[in-house]
Chain A
């Protein structure tokens, strides 16, 4: 079971601007794999290409060249319904600004990926309640997003991302809009889900504290992977210090 790749990224390039005009190469050949049940972080300064990379991996954007495979399925050329089905079944997404639909209750937001697949109502209810219990939001299910705190909103978003048991969970600065205690709770939650349910997580962040929860960190600089850091059996506090040190030299 360990070391089975869930996602492989091979020679990924992304160039902005049409041929002939002024072009900008945001990604200059990225290679890495994420194993099943792994918790990987991607770090880099603003403009390093980490968000571009995440958008490619999560099928929100198409690379100029290269291939991404998730769950043995090449995803870079998916289109239309296949793409929608893939997003709905194989991946979960958590955004910095929550991206909850403010017109729907927490329950309805969490259930959305299942209703999109036309899952029967009597199967949706236990699934939502189950994931809500795990994430500690069972009592907020009837509330609308604007009646929840930032931390609660992000847990609702996490529940929505997890409800269809995705192969990969992507996080784009999920703690960016949270206060420190909410951020800590959410990251603990990620670790727990990762440990107990073996969900593979890919987290994009520029915050060393968030990154210290990962098992492995890839540092991106100017469109390339510059360095890789593995936690191994290191306690989280020491790993945090190691990240800080790496960042200190890496960004020079």
Chain B
């Protein structure tokens, strides 16, 4: 009978359960997505070649577990608040505590398992979809990527079911220890925002110190290695929470002193925020961290993506070189409208490649001479035969050769000396287009044609010039790019579901407040404005903290990236701000629809 009663309660509140389920499914799906990469050792090894990446992933996994812990605790209290009245009612009609406890336990666990299984399935589909999208749009090459990865699924299931077992136990104690009448009226709790200056001072100082330590250890990751990530993780999570906790209450009390706070519905909005302050500080710290993770991941992924053509361009002055190109190949080169194109004749001996000095004097060979510590800063220098012989960058000519001639010394001969050599003469055609990345498909076709008569062109490492460098660097960085974008999307989705969950779970309670305001004579514009402002605060605060975290967190990638991780960060920031804004507008719309009907 009680089970039947519990089921009717379930049916009556399917909307609330929908919010709960979608939140939990999203959360477990994203956890699975992350684990599918993080626990897949062969994927990490194949695609990054950087040992530290695996460790970073492990710490990321710990962080996500902490976030999940808070998230589930939060979802659970939502579930509990939803059921309190029903269970109170059961107690009033004389249900035994043991029976009720059984029901609570069962319900919590059932919700958890169903949501987690659905989440793993959804996560597999998401992983498949997102990786396909990224691979095709970024032109990546990846190995050992599996959308369905059993260890990840197992880990997700174990963590979630374990957490729900704990949550069920907590609910059991919380509900059966509370008198029935109190359960019936649990919504009328007191809510005076309390200012405890000493405790808040301690929290501000402690939080700032913790965050400073975290930033410092991220910047000195090369010395601290694994320990640095561990320190940063713990200190930043705790520091963010303390700071939000201490500043938020104070901020609202302080804002109420201003005249602007007493215009229109501003005071109402501030009161709304202070009313649910404790829920908000937790959710805001989590959102700030997720914001930082998402933005950081996308910025890093973009950094690597941008770096590939830069590094390719810095490797050689020419896009590609072909030995003895056929008529068709020459036509294909012509169709590319090369900026420069030169033919050098040469003869190959055992230890050297012989060129005619005169050809180099009339058509100088361009080398890229590095300057400064940064590998990407170069000066293009045109070399006559004599200059090239002396230049330390003459290897750039060698790179353009094929068939094992790359490492042989280049010797520049007078016409008479050249004539005396008995070896057959070949032609090396070098060319450079305006932008190698813009001509990738056409060059690919050209290489394919050339590979028909010279098999060595089939292997990317045999291809000299920018095109070959692009292929090699891209395959080296593909894993890193992919992880950056993939995790960025995953964290953004997690952030979205967190905030959405928070806001929708509060909407039902807000409904009667907005109705009351309507009866008091509030214009529709004032009401929508109040909603926009309240939600804007919830978006902007973690956004600011998240941006600061990212700016310091990028220090970690100094040693992974050739360029500074800060170059061009405005682009990912702008893209992210756009996504965040769209997400804000959607949330406001949904909230208004619920509250203002």
Contact = CB atoms under 8 A, between A and B. Distances in A.
B271 A101 contact: yes
A105 to B, nearest CB: 8
A60 B190 contact: no
A88 B524 contact: no
Contact of A93 (B188, B190, B520): B520
A118 B526 CA distance: 11
Contacts of A88: 520-522
A113 B516 contact: no
A115 interface: yes
A44 B54 CA distance: 76
B272 interface: yes
B263 interface: yes
B332 interface: no
Report the contact-size class of chain B (Cβ under 8 Å from the partner).
20 to 34
A46 interface: no
A118 B524 contact: no
Interface stretch (A79-87, A226-234, A242-250): A79-87
B525 interface: yes
A116 B265 contact: yes
B521 A102 contact: no
A181 interface: no
B268 interface: yes
Interface in B511-528: 513, 516-526
B339 interface: no
Q: Which of B191, B265, B523 has the most CB of A within 10 A?
A: B523
B265 A104 contact: no
B523 A103 contact: no
B188 A102 contact: yes
Contact of B521 (A103, A108, A113, A121): A113
Given A111-B262, A147-B190, A60 B519 contact: yes
Interface in A13-65: 60
Nearest to A82: B523
Interface string A149-183: 00000000000100000000000000000000000
Contact of A116 (B190, B259, B521): B521
Contact of B191 (A80, A102, A113, A124): A102
Contacts of A140: none
A104 B268 contact: yes
A226 B524 CA distance: 38
B190 A103 contact: no
A144 B519 contact: no
Contacts of B265: 115-116
B452 interface: no
A218 interface: no
Given A112-B268, A147-B190, A118 B263 contact: yes
Contact of A101 (B190, B513, B521): B513
Q: Which of B192, B262, B525 has the most CB of A within 10 A?
A: B262
B81 to A, nearest CB: 16
22 contacts: A80-B523, A84-B518, A84-B521, A84-B523, A84-B526, A87-B520, A88-B522, A93-B520, A99-B519, A101-B271, A101-B517, A103-B191, A104-B267, A104-B268, A111-B262, A115-B264, A115-B267, A116-B265, A116-B521, A116-B526, A118-B263, A118-B264
The 9 closest A-B pairs by CB, nearest first: A88-B521, A87-B521, A103-B275, A84-B523, A103-B271, A104-B271, A121-B262, A81-B523, A84-B521
